[in-house]
Structure 1
Amino acid sequence: MDKNGGTLARGKIAPKLPSQRIWKTLVRYRLLYLMLIPGVAYYIVYHYFPMIGLLIAFKQYNLMSGIWGSKWVGFDNFRTIFASPDFPLLMKNTLLLSLYRIVFNMLPDVLLALILNEIRSQWFKRIVQTITYGPYFLSWIIVYGLVFSFFAPGAGLFTTLFRDWGWGNMDVLTNSDYFRTMLITTDLWKSTGFGAIIYLAALGSINHELYEAAVVDGAGRWRLLWHITLPGIRQVFILLLILRIGHIMDAGFEQVYIFLNARVYDVGDILDTWIFRRGIEQMEFSVPAAMGVFKSVIGLVLVLGANKLAKKVDGSGIW
């Protein structure tokens, strides 16, 4: 008899309820689910539970009162941000630096990977890889120390040579005209080698039979590159582009904060450095927390929009 009171036809099996199917799946794959518990617990404890701190953005936070005891102010902290005279400049600097990183730092990764992929001498290829990968493992403090030793005003190696040769004073670290160029150049030197690893992995996954068939048809090096190699890494490029667009509001806090000085605030001060000054140096937590929420929302919207656009144009995205 079925749940409505009728009898089931002879030879037919009653359909299982959703709860029964779920329970059967849990029992069948119980070992896999047990292995999943530590990872889920990690994300709950260290990623989702701390999101309670987002309430600080909507409160007049006081350390002594705590999150729950602080006064609720709603969107006042966001109004403070948008009314600040520094906000347009911070947004401009953040977006420009992020766009420069996307435009000038992604293409060199692809180019280096393509060059390394064409090198047939393994010993030479390993040497080039070691040289280009090495800077990635240096901290920005060390990178800044190297840059400072070359371009320190009045005492750097290059600035001293320029002065001694009668070419005038070289002002790089404290000149607004060169600050963004210096940031992008040092980031390019530091991260290009490591960024090429992902594209090398993608190149290694391309079916070599496609190259062999194209060579038989008379295709040359450029034809192989244009019709097989580049389409083979296109999806990886789109994936990394979407991820970078999602982080467009970051602009590389660690590098910018280390290189930043008072004479280049007009071109180098970004949202993250402003948050650091207000939150850590001035011990004002509510407004920086609101800025963090604003950045997260914008990043989420950009990721969703870029993923949808990529699906329409190329048919592939993150999900």
Structure 2
Amino acid sequence: MAIHAPRPRLLLATRRLRACAAAPCARRAPVPPQAARPRRVFLGLGATFVDQVARMASGGASSRSFVAGARPQQGVSPVEQILKNVEWPDEFPFKPEDFSRFDESSDTLFYSAPRFVTHIDDQAIKALTEYYSEVLPPSNSPGVAILDMCSSWVSHYPPGYKQQKIVGMGMNEDELKRNPVLTEYVVQDLNVNTKLPFEDNTFDVITNVVSVDYLTKPIDVFKEMRRILKPAGLAIMSFSNRCFWTKAISIWTSTGDADHAWIVGAYFHYAGGFDLPQWKREK
């Protein structure tokens, strides 16, 4: 079962911090609690969750209803405002039940039949491919290695894009075999085994298209991403308002677009070693 909406349209991108700058760059000046307040107005189904987290970050609870009372800054999108005004709690704010799913049966079984379909619409694919053409290393760059995590039969890279090493990691071998951009592939269930089978500092870029919402151990996976990325390597998480509802984690299916950006940003933050994420919204 999938949740359908007119257009999936969000992605977050961030870089691994250079090793020499990891300590000072990872600690940024805290944002005053009042600066974070306007974001509540955008939060739809997830307002209660992000309100609770914001109160944890500011060290207290407030009786004011920011959902009703706050107003967005003129010309600033909900996601941009959330990421600009973010103030992370000291401790990881999610609970184990946030990563539960309606269908806890085997993911290997669920994905055993190949699905040669696209999970986002044509306009979203076009926007994502254009974004990749702007940020991916030029085709056939010497020494460049890319990992397409949670990959399938198509990666949405620019037409004819090539590198000496493009690895696809996914759940279905038949799908991965059909992906023309891959030079090799790995079949692995990241919800069972979060350890990525690669050496430290292997990849220049990691991409993940509309699958971050299925990760039940995201911090473990993001720590592994940091480990295998080269210093200043780029991680790109694209996601949408569509999903296999029964397999997406609880905190994802109970929240909206702006919350999803906050959630994925939190994964980068609590995994450590990443710069602040930047976002791009497909128009």
* TM-score (ref. length: structure 1): 0.23
> In terms of Rg, which structure is larger?
1
- Greater helix content: 1
- Greater strand content: 2
